[in-house]
Every structure is written in C-alpha cells, then in structure tokens.
Structure 1
Amino acid sequence: MGKALKINGGINFSLLDDRDVFMLITTVREGIKYATFQNIANKIPFSLGEWSEFLHLSERTFQRYKKEQRKFDPLHSEKILEITLVYNKGVEVFGEKEDFDAWLEAKNVALGGIRPKELLDSTFGIGLLRDELTRIEHGVLA
C-alpha cells in the first residue's frame, strides 16, 4: 500500500481504517499536527484548495497553520481522518490508487450525477461514499 506514515506518532496512514475507534478518538481529541496533515495531503491527490473546501477553512488559514506548525482542532482533525479512511477504503476496493482517483473525478449516476469527491465536504457525504464503496465491494452496482 505504499510507504507507511505515522499520524501523530501513533496511526499508520497506509493501514488506517476504522477498526481501532478508540485510537481514532484519541487522535481527534489531541488534534492532528499540520506536518501530519501535510504528509496525508501528499499521498491523497487533492489540492490545497480542495482540502480548504472539504474542511471549510480558507487557504490563508492553512498557510497560517503551516507557518505556526499548529494542530487542527478536533472538528477538522476528525474530518481529515474521515477523508483518509474513505480514501484508503476506496483504494482497497478499487485495487489501484489510480483507478480510485479516476472514480472520484468521474460523474457518478448512482450519486445523482455528481463527482464523488464533491461529497467530501460533509460527514453525510462521506458516509454516502462509504456506503457506495461497500456496494461496489460487494458487487451491488445500482
């Protein structure tokens, strides 16, 4: 799955899934360090502008976090982890990172004709993507 990445010294990015809920809760409560977010962002093909939309933070705020090496608050940390979880699940389901990346970009009839990555700005949208990935995984395509 690629090079391992430890999130805040405890979570391996490449193996991150929702099985260890208490570790995820602890990470959210502590907040994700900007450097850790940068490592995640380097592995997931979203621009800073897209992350800005997903997290409802301005690009200027991101620049300030980077300069000050700040931690994200629990709300934003949770969203970063949710996006990471759904991304890792998608790569697992599709088998190849490139195939999942293409799926995220393509308009999807099952999702109302929108591009799947447009749903990453809300918890409800992320849940919808998780459900759709489960259907694809089990061969239910409609």
Structure 2
Amino acid sequence: MAEALKIDSNLSYDLTDDRNLLALVRAARQGIKYEAFKSIADKSPFSTDEWSGFLHLSERTFQRYKKEKRTFDPIHSEKIIEVILVYNKGIEVFGDQDKFNIWLETQSVALAGLRPKELLDTTFGISLLKDELTRIEHGVLA
C-alpha cells in the first residue's frame, strides 16, 4: 500500500468531523514551511514546474523560498494542503499510487478531455477532481 503524503500526521480530510477541518484551517493559516513542502513535493509525482503552476508562483520565487527557508503564505499553504488531500484521496480510491498517477496523466472524457492533474491549479478544479474520485469510488462512471 502506498504511503500518503503528509504535512502533519493529524491532518486528514474528513467532512464528518469539524475538528479535522479546523485543523486544516489552522495549518493553512500558520503556513507550510518550505522544508515541509519540499519533503512532500519530493514524494509526489509532480515536478517543481507543476507545483509552481498549481500555486501560481514562479520557479524563481520557489528558489527564494528555499534559500530563505520561508513559510508559504496562507493562500499558498491552503492550495498545497488541497493538492495533498486530493492526491491522498486518489490513492485511497485507486488502491495503488501508480494507478492513480496514471489516471492523473490520462485524458478524461468526464473532465472534458483534460488530464486530471491539469485541474489542480484552481479550487474549482480540485473540487471537480474530488467529485470525480467520489463517483469512481462508488462505481458511477461517466
């Protein structure tokens, strides 16, 4: 079984438990330290260029964050957490990290011919991916 990406072992996406959602809010507000982000990014299938696109930050800004050991602003921290949560949900649904990574790269009829990872740059796109993963999980395929 694949290991989920983690910033904090207590953070998970469970809509039935407000405490978990409040922990996510706190984590986003506190900001994600570059070192924690780098650890996650290295375990993810996404390149620095892709993360840069998801977060709407230039690669030069990433280099500055690394050099200065900065903490991401809340808006970028929230997006990092959202990407991690949808990624972990995908591994859970597919039961295999490699299968999920292939799905992320494959054009989807249900997603208007886009590759799922192309939607990770907006909250709306992430919401679409979560909905699609829920449909897959329940066997409702488009």
TM-score by structure 2 length? Answer: 0.91
- Aligned residue in 2 for 1:105: 105
- Aligned residue in 1 for 2:66: 66
Mapped to 2, the partners of 1:24 and 1:73 lie a distance apart of 14
Code of the residue aligned with 1:17 in structure 2: it is S
- Aligned residue in 2 for 1:34: 34
Report the RMSD for the aligned CA atoms in angstroms.
1.5
- Aligned residue in 1 for 2:17: none
Instruction: Name stretches of at least 5 consecutive residues in structure 1 with no aligned partner.
Output: none
Alignment of 1:1-142 (within 5 A): 7=7, 11-12=8-9, 16-19=11-14, 20-142=20-142
Q: Secondary structure at the match of 2:71?
A: coil
Mapped to 2, the partners of 1:79 and 1:3 lie a distance apart of 20
Cα 1:115–1:131 change in 2 (3 A) is same
Mapped to 2, the partners of 1:31 and 1:102 lie a distance apart of 30
Mapped to 1, the partners of 2:3 and 2:127 lie a distance apart of 27
Matched pairs, number? 137
Deviations 1:88-124 (A, max 9, x none): 0000000000000000000000000010000000000
Mapped to 1, the partners of 2:6 and 2:86 lie a distance apart of 17
Deviation at 1:17, TM superposition (A): 2.3
Cα 1:131–1:95 change in 2 (3 A) is same
Instruction: Name stretches of at least 5 consecutive residues in structure 2 with no aligned partner.
Output: 15-19
